[in-house]
């Protein structure tokens, strides 16, 4: 490398030197010399160039040594530097808008995924993740109820999602926390996404989905915590209302009698389901 650089630089300087164009034309040529202007000038140029080349080579060696030190340090630190942590958050996979029109349960249970956007306030939303639930390594599932009027309120139920499928995570055995103090201790006769469905006639039917219920003993004795009413359910007076679907829940810290205590039956504007695939 040093020899090549030296030869190239010598050739350039021997060809052009430090003379002006007029000087290069009039300078005498001396045989045995590589340059115009005599042997002494050639020797001076050569010595100067050799010093420059030596200086460049020394600097190059210093740079290579520093690079080698950096590579060694990088290798030593590779094992000790932790990977950057990925934030562990909740991912929305399903959302039901009250009174949006379509029933909630067919959207959840069907194989297709509607091409709706998660922030569209007029339609339900379902992520493709629902269809591959068991392959996601889900750790927790959260069901949230949102009420926007007269005040913004949120109620969360959190479930253990480890080893679950898209239906059995919603169960009392997997419940971690809820807004109701008695849900874990009181008996429940229904706790499922499919819920309770009866068709008495073409004009009398009920479709209670995402249903958490304590007891059924006639309409006046329907006690529970949560229900999504699909299909314009109309068997009991407390089910009848405008818009489909309707999301009803207990505003109390305990279960509520849907028929006898209507002032403590809340109506949510949105029900959303989230998953978490990493530890807290």
- Give percent above pLDDT 70 in the chain: 69
- What pLDDT, on a 0 to 100 scale, did the predictor assign at position 48? 63
Check whether 272 has a pLDDT greater than 50. yes
Confidence of residue 62 (pLDDT cuts 50, 70, 90): low
Which is more confidently placed, 94 or 5?
94
Check whether 63 has a pLDDT greater than 90. no
Which is more confidently placed, 77 or 103?
103
Rounded to an integer, what distance in angstroms lies between the CA atom of residue 233 and that of residue 240?
7
Check whether 263 has a pLDDT greater than 70. yes
Peptide bond into 38 cis (omega under 30): no
Rounded to an integer, what distance in angstroms lies between the CA atom of residue 89 and that of residue 275?
8
Cβ 235 vs Cβ 200: under 8 Å: yes
Confidence of residue 61 (pLDDT cuts 50, 70, 90): low
- What pLDDT, on a 0 to 100 scale, did the predictor assign at position 31? 45
Domain layout of the chain by residue ranges? 2-78, 91-276
Q: What is the dihedral of CA 22, 26, 27, 33, to 10 degrees?
A: 110
First vs last C-alpha separation in the chain: 58
Give the 3-state DSSP-derived string for 233-247, with helices as H, strands as E and coil as C.
CCCCHHHCCCCCCEE
List pLDDT tens digits, range 220-255.
999 999 999 999 899 999 999 999 999 999 999 999
Confidence of residue 80 (pLDDT cuts 50, 70, 90): very low
> Could you tell me the two tokens for 32?
């045995």
Confidence of residue 49 (pLDDT cuts 50, 70, 90): low
- What pLDDT, on a 0 to 100 scale, did the predictor assign at position 36? 43
| Mean pLDDT within 15-36 | 41
Confidence of residue 14 (pLDDT cuts 50, 70, 90): very low
| Mean pLDDT within 138-150 | 96
CA–CA distance from 59 to each of 5, 56, 62, 68 (Å)?
14, 5, 5, 14
Q: pTM of the prediction?
A: 0.69
Average the pLDDT over each of 9-18, 112-121, 168-177, 202-211 and give the range with the smallest value: 9-18
Which helix (H) or strand (E) element contains residue 28?
Answer: none
Average the pLDDT over each of 18-27, 116-125, 166-175 and give the range with the smallest value: 18-27
Rounded to an integer, what distance in angstroms lies between the CA atom of residue 243 and that of residue 226?
18
Helix then strand then coil, % of the chain, to nearest 5: 30, 25, 45
| Mean pLDDT within 34-58 | 57
pLDDT, mean over the chain: 80
Pairing verdict, β 270-276 and 140-147: antiparallel
Q: Which residues of 119-136 are buried (b: 16+ CB within 10 A; e: fewer)?
A: eeeebbbbbebbeebeee
């Amino acid at each position: 490398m040093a020899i090549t650089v030296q030869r190239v630089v010598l050739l350039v300087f021997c060809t052009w030197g430090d003379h002006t164009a007029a000087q290069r034309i009039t300078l005498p040529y001396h045989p045995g010399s590589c340059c115009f202007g005599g042997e002494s000038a050639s020797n001076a140029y050569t010595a100067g160039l050799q010093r420059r080349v030596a200086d460049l080579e020394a600097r190059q060696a210093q740079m290579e040594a520093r690079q080698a030190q950096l590579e060694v340090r990088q290798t030593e630190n590779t094992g000790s530097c932790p990977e950057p942590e990925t934030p562990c958050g909740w991912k929305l996979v399903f959302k039901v808008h009250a009174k949006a029109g379509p029933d909630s349960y067919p959207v959840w249970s069907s194989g297709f995924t509607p091409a709706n956007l998660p922030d569209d306030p007029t339609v339900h939303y379902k992520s493709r993740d629902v269809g591959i639930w068991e392959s996601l390594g889900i750790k927790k599932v959260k069901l949230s109820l949102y009420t926007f009027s007269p005040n913004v309120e949120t109620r969360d139920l959190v479930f253990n999602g480890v080893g679950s499928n898209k239906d059995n995570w919603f169960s009392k055995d997997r419940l971690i926390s809820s807004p109701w103090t008695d849900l874990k201790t009181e008996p429940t006769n229904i706790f499922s996404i499919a819920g309770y469905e009866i068709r008495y006639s073409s004009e009398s039917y009920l479709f209670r989905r995402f249903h958490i219920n304590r007891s059924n003993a006639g309409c006046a004795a329907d006690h529970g915590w949560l229900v999504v009413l699909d299909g314009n359910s109309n068997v009991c007076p407390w089910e009848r209302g405008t818009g489909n679907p309707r999301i009803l829940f207990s505003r109390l810290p305990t279960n509520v009698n849907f028929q006898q205590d209507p002032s403590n039956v809340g109506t949510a504007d949105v029900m959303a389901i989230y998953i978490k695939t990493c530890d807290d």
